[in-house]
Amino acid sequence: MDFSLSNIFDHFTPATWTIAITLLVMSVLSLGVTFNRAFIFMRSRSQSKAFADAVGGMLNKADVDGAIKASKADEYKFAYLARILRTGLEDAKDVQVKLGDLEDLSTVQNSMERAVAEEEAFMRKWMTILATVSSTAPFVGLLGTVFGIINSFIGMAASGSGGIGAVAGGIAEALVMTGFGLIVAIPAVWFYNWANAQAEGLGSEMKNNASEMLDWVHKNAGAFAGKAA
């Protein structure tokens, strides 16, 4: 018997093709999410570094308005640092105007913590797809395996014998579907672990940035005196 893939595909039933197409879609989604997250992680880090270099001098001069304006530039739209810094500075200005001083920075801290949480959620966007594909693809492939075994029994019933020719097509179909499920699941596991590690690393950086920004506001409270909200 010819065990080429083209011959095996000829034995696929509509149910098996449905499983195969489902696995193909899962694979495409997994790759799409991986490339999307890789792009976001790369741009977020590079633009945040560029923003830090650009705004460092402004903060040294206590130029609050200049730093806020710089954080809104299009060239830093992927920079998580720009959004965290802007949140902290704008909330500190608001507290200064409404309370007259910055002795209590709890609201500024809370605002930046929320900003960090939003950025972390953005960094993990779509990652549930990777987790779902990695955990369910083997079972989807197993479902295809079940259909292949069923086809083997159907072949036996049709031929009236249990010879290899009657069951080989269905068994080959079952093994192909098992392999397909694993081929989809294994890279998805790798991609998810990589993306998760990147997101955790960025989350730690963002928390450190927020803490440093809060310290800066505390040390430079005078820079906010008289600032408009």
DSSP 8-state assignment for residue 91: H
Asked if pLDDT for residue 113 goes beyond 70, the answer is yes
Report the distance separating Cα 225 and Cα 1, nearest Å: 86
Distances (CA, A) of 69 to 19, 30, 177: 52, 38, 56
Residues 35-62, mean pLDDT to the nearest whole number: 94
Work out the pLDDT band at 2, boundaries 50, 70, 90: very low
Sequence-distant (≥ 6) Cβ neighbours of residue 117 within 8 angstroms: none
Q: If you average pLDDT over every residue of the chain, what do you get? A: 87
Q: What is the rounded end-to-end Cα distance, in angstroms, of the chain?
A: 80
Sequence-distant (≥ 6) Cβ neighbours of residue 98 within 8 angstroms: 229
Q: What is the pLDDT of residues 27-39, one digit of tens each?
A: 999 999 999 999 9
Nearest to 91 by CA among 70, 68, 73, 69: 68
For the ranges 145-149, 177-181, 211-215, which has the lowest average pLDDT?
145-149
Q: What is the pLDDT of residues 149-168, one digit of tens each?
A: 887 777 666 665 555 555 66
Enclosing H/E stretch for 150: helix 127-159
- Residue 227, Cα to own-chain centre: how many angstroms? 39
The pLDDT score that the predictor gives to residue 165 is: 56
Work out the pLDDT band at 6, boundaries 50, 70, 90: low
- Global pTM reads 0.83
CB 150 within 8 A of CB 171: no
Distances (CA, A) of 131 to 135, 153, 193: 6, 35, 9
Report the distance separating Cα 188 and Cα 192, nearest Å: 6
